């Protein structure tokens, strides 16, 4: 399965689809870090980076999973030993690339976007939020990939709608009905992130796991 994961990453990079995600991410980072965040606002700036990168990560995941043609999916599934292993290899490859993009975003934020080095606690929270962003992007991208939504138009609309739902529902009283990304930002702006992060992280993690399990179940009937 490791070999199949590496094969998927290699196909994604060699097909140059990786740039379809990398270039918009660089543009987004250039915009949000065009002005360095003042001292004391490091948590808010890094949280905004974690929230804003989610749709790009989802796009990257969808693009990586869609790089593999349908007939190659069958070859890969038989080669790996089962369709489940093929699915897991695809998710692992997406996770690896998403982690690289998230690390790039966090690194740019730390080097270019802040006026002062953040305290270790803020840094740890930023790492956790970028990790949650990776999982949210992974789940959203997988659920809008071609095996689940074969129509490119529906897939793109699904991805954008899913992210908008996170933003809108996350700002409402029923924020716990989705990955509450807006609640992340509100907590960071109000300097309550340390207190609220365990609860927000649990809700976020729960929805990501539900979405990934849903993806696995849907793939059982969509090989």
Partner 1 sequence: MRGSVYIVGLFITTKRVALYRYSTMRLSKVSFRYRRRERYVIEDVHARLLPGELVELTGVNGAGKSTLLRLLAGVARPTSGTITDRPPVVAFAPDRFPAEQPFTVAGYLRWMSRVRGGARWEPWTERLSMTHLLDVRLGELSKGSAHKVGLAQALMADAGLLILDEPFAGLDDSTRAVLPGILAEVTARGGIAVVSDHQGVLRDLPAIRHWSLSGAQLIVRPAPLSPGPAFSDSTSAVEVTVPAGEVEAFLGRMRDEGYPARAVAREEAT
Binding piece for partner 1, criterion CB under 8 A, among 8-16, 31-39, 95-103, 184-192: 8-16
> Is 96 a binder of partner 1 (CB under 8 A)?
no
Kindly tell me the sign of the dihedral angle through the C-alpha atoms of 5, 9, 12, 18.
Answer: positive
> Is 112 a binder of partner 1 (CB under 8 A)?
no
CA 12 from centre of chain: 16
Which CA distances in Å does 211 have to 20, 51, 128, 183?
24, 18, 19, 19
Cβ at position 80, least distance to partner 1 in Å: 6
DSSP helix/strand/coil, 37: strand
Residues 15-44 touching partner 1, rule: CB under 8 A, are 15-16
> Is 11 a binder of partner 1 (CB under 8 A)?
yes
Binding piece for partner 1, criterion CB under 8 A, among 3-11, 103-111, 139-147, 188-196: 3-11
> Is 3 a binder of partner 1 (CB under 8 A)?
yes
Binding piece for partner 1, criterion CB under 8 A, among 51-59, 65-73, 144-152, 206-214: 65-73
Q: Looking at 23, 31, 35, 75, which residue binds partner 1 (CB under 8 A)? A: 75
Beta carbon nearer to partner 1, 34 or 221: 221
What sections of the chain are H helices per DSSP? 2-14, 18-32, 42-52, 54-67, 70-80, 83-108, 120-143, 152-170, 181-189, 193-220
Residues 195-214 touching partner 1, rule: CB under 8 A, are none
Binding piece for partner 1, criterion CB under 8 A, among 1-9, 46-54, 133-141, 192-200: 1-9
Q: Which residues contact 81 (CB under 8 A, 6 or more apart)?
A: none
Cα–Cα distance for residue pair 88/217, rounded to 1 Å = 13
User: Cβ–Cβ contacts within 10 Å for residue 170, how many?
Assistant: 24
Cβ at position 85, least distance to partner 1 in Å: 10
């Amino acid at each position: 399965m490791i070999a199949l994961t590496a094969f998927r990453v290699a196909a994604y990079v060699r097909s140059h689809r990786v740039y379809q995600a990398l270039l918009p991410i660089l543009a987004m980072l250039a915009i949000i870090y065009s002005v360095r965040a003042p001292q004391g606002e490091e948590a808010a700036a890094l949280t905004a980076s974690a929230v804003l990168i989610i749709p790009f990560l989802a796009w990257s995941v969808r693009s990586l999973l869609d790089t593999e043609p349908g007939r190659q999916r069958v070859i890969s599934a038989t080669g790996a030993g089962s369709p489940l292993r093929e699915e897991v290899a695809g998710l692992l490859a997406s996770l690896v690339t998403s982690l690289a993009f998230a690390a790039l975003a966090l690194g740019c934020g730390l080097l270019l976007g802040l006026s002062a080095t953040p305290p270790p606690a803020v840094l740890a929270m930023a790492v956790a939020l970028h990790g949650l962003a990776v999982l949210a992007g992974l789940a959203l991208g997988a659920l809008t990939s071609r095996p689940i939504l074969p129509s490119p138009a529906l897939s793109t609309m699904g991805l954008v709608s899913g992210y908008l739902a996170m933003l809108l529902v996350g700002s409402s009283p029923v924020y716990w009905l989705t990955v509450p990304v807006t609640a992340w930002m509100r907590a960071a702006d109000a300097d309550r992130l340390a207190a609220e992060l365990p609860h927000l992280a649990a809700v976020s993690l729960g929805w990501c796991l539900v979405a990934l399990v849903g993806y696995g179940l849907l793939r059982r009937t969509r090989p």
